[in-house]
Each structure stands twice: as C-alpha cells, then as structure tokens.
A and B are shown apart, each in its own frame.
Chain A
Amino acid sequence: MKVNPFIYGALILVLFFGVIGGAKAAGVWSVSGKLTASGEKLAPTGANPDEIKGWMTLDDISTAYNVPVAEILAEFDLPADTPGATQVKALESDTFSTTALRTWLKARLGQ
C-alpha cells in the first residue's frame, strides 16, 4: 500500500510525542534528580536517610531529620564554621561522604 509522506511524517510525530505525553500523564517523567515527576523541587522527608543526595544542603538535612548542623559537623570532624547552605557533596573527603552521612543518620534513627 502506497503511503503519503505527509501522513508518514505526522505518524512519526504522533508516535514520538505521544509516548512522551503518555509518560508525563502517567507521572513517569523526571528531568532532574532534584525534581519530582510533577516538577516540584525534591526535599528530604526525614523518613529514610537513603533519600539523601549529594546536592542536598546541611540545612535541608538538619531540618528534615531534626539534627543540628553543628552535630553533623562535629561527628565528621568538619570545620565548625561550615555554612549550613553547603551541599553535602562539597564536603566529601576521606572522613566524610554522603554514604557515611546516611549510615550515621540511620544509626541515629535506630534504623
């Protein structure tokens, strides 16, 4: 069967953008690890330390897990004057990592 090239072009667009639109409608879409599927900024909930990402700040974690920034800094021998707005990944060293922070918070929460 002969196919009109315009119909073929339209089919390509419908297929491609249809899959994307369908995924978006179903909530199966995220363009950043910092955003939820609906496009809202992701924030730690305080329920599970595994949710902590390197881009989160000490303040984010302090608020969500109800732990003072000073306690985190002291636990990992980090400079006491480190600003709370510092991202966790920016502090990574031999003695501190996002994984170490998660493990410590889990122990603190008794998980």
Chain B
Amino acid sequence: MTTTVNTKVSGKIKPRRKGLASLLSHHTFRRLTQLGVFLFIAFIAIRHMLVGEEGAVITASWEAYCPMGGLETLYKYITSGGKFVSHVHLSNVVLLVAALAVALIARNAFCGWLCPFGFIQDMISSFSALVQKRVPALRKAVKTLKKSGARLAVLDRYLRFLKYGVLAWAVLGAAAYGFMVFRDFDPWAALWNLLELSLAAGTIVLAIVLVASLFVERPWCRYACPLGAATGLVGKLSPFYLKREAAACTSCGICTKACPVGLPVHTATTIKHADCMSCLECVDECPRDGALMLKLGVPVFGK
C-alpha cells in the first residue's frame, strides 16, 4: 500500500441520501447477500439437527458447505486420487474452488460479501455501536478502554501474520495426520455444534471472538482466519483494487474508521492489502465525490 497525503482538494461533497434512497446502496446489497448465506447455513444446520442422517431421509450437515473443509482435505484429495478426510465431501472442494475463483477475480470479496461468520461479527459490532450510541456511559467506558489499550495497537501489525500460521497448521496438520486438526478449535464449527450441545476448545475461541467483536471489528478475520488468509493471498492476483484520489480527498479519515479490518485507507493511494475484503464500506462512507473508488486494472502491478 503506497502512501501520500494531499494538499489540494477538488472533490465535491456527495449529496446525502435520505429515506428509502439511503437503502439503495451496495452496503444494503452486501448485507442482504451475507444474510442470505447465513440463513441458508442456519437452515441446513437446523434441518440436519432435527432430521439427521440415520433415517430414510438423509440431510446434509452444515460442514458440507464450508470451503475450509476443502482446503483441509486438498492434500489428501490430490494424493489419494479423490478421497477426503473425515467430515469433508466433494461439495467442500467445489466451495473452495468457488471461493478461490472469487478471490482470483474479485479480491478477498468472499470474506466481505459471503462469509456467514464474518456477517455474525459484523452484526455484533453493529449492535455494539448502536448500544454505545444510545448509552453515553457505555460509549465513554468503551472509549476509555480503547484509549488504555491503544499502546497494544502496535501488536496489530504483527498479530495479522498469525492467520498464516493457522493456515499452515490447518493444512499441513490435516496432510500429516489425515484428519482436520483445526476442526476442534474452529469457532464456526463450535457455533453450530452448540445446537447439539457439543462443546470443544473451539467454544472458547468462539466466545473470545464474539466478545472481542463488541470492541474490535472482525477480530477473527483480522488475526486468525485461515480461509481468509488463503483467499487474501490469492486475491493479490486480482485486477480489482481501491484507489484514493489525493486531489479529491480531504484526509478526513472517515474511510479508515469505516474499514472493518482497520486498514489506513485515508493515507494510501491504492489499497491492495491482502486483508482488504472488498466490502467497499470505505467507498460508501467517503463524503467526497471521486475521492475513493473501486477500479479495474492490470493484476498485481497495474493501476
């Protein structure tokens, strides 16, 4: 991410959308997409819990719809000529291919537009922001907490590398041991296993992620998600990127505040970071016309 700070400003202020018109934004489109995927997975999980797969009717588990399973079984699938590690099916491999295809063409958009666990974190953060808006005492307390923890922000840069370690552990562990070593620690798995009153180490991870989402947006995605790490790396080859026009930008920082993964958008000229999940919240929130936009260029090098 290259950095410049502008001196001239020429971007006009965007007209403020009111009423129903304010709903006609790509933010609404994205939220509806996320909600649709989440409701589909919830339906699959609840149906599987109620019907099961021992009777005449066999229902799929929610696990069959997780691209992460595809990533974990990839080594076995290739080396054994089409066999899977336990709990993984062909659908997982297809979903992985779909997620990687999205990453290759449209950057890390799977995380921003489709991932249901990302949606849950978004909803908790939105709820937290809403409550803080309504309860000034809570807002003050959170502000104080964030202020006292500000010195830990230096760790943020290094903690972001943790997800690549989790990715290596999950993929290499499954390849070495022949089962999904990450599964017991996976908060997404832990969430649906709660339906069957099943607890694992992942339940603690889930609780930490949900509580952390009250204070930090997308904590799991920023620091630990192995699938996001993989799609983020593949997404570096995408021709899409975000461009900040210094001449139209006032460096107000609204875009940076809007970024769910905390990227310093207002000081960059192009945003091609592996953590950028192309949610376009920064573009939506930017008050200046033409200051921040989504662009199509030559992959990797092009502008």
Contact = CB atoms under 8 A, between A and B. Distances in A.
A16 B91 CA distance: 13
Nearest to A9: B29
Interface residues of B, number: 36
Interface string A5-18: 11011011101110
Contact of B98 (A15, A30, A55): A15
Given A12-B114, A29-B90, A31-B65, A5 B101 contact: no
A30 B283 contact: no
A41 interface: yes
B295 A13 contact: no
B293 interface: yes
Interface string A36-49: 01000100000000
B296 interface: yes
A28 interface: yes
A28 B30 contact: no
A8 B94 contact: no
Interface string B57-77: 010110011000000000000
A12 B106 contact: yes
B280 A5 contact: yes
Nearest to A40: B58
B108 to A, nearest CB: 11
A2 B33 contact: no
Interface residues of A, number: 27
B196 interface: no
Nearest to B96: A19
A5 B283 contact: yes
Contact of B94 (A3, A19, A35): A19
A43 B143 CA distance: 61
B99 interface: yes
Contact of A15 (B91, B105, B278, B283): B105
A110 interface: no
Nearest to A32: B60
B120 interface: no
Nearest to A34: B58
A37 B101 contact: no
Interface in B18-72: 26, 29-30, 33, 53, 58, 60-61, 64-65
B99 A16 contact: yes
A29 B94 contact: yes
A13 B106 contact: no
Interface of A: 1-3, 5-6, 8-9, 11-13, 15-17, 19-20, 23, 28-35, 37, 41, 55
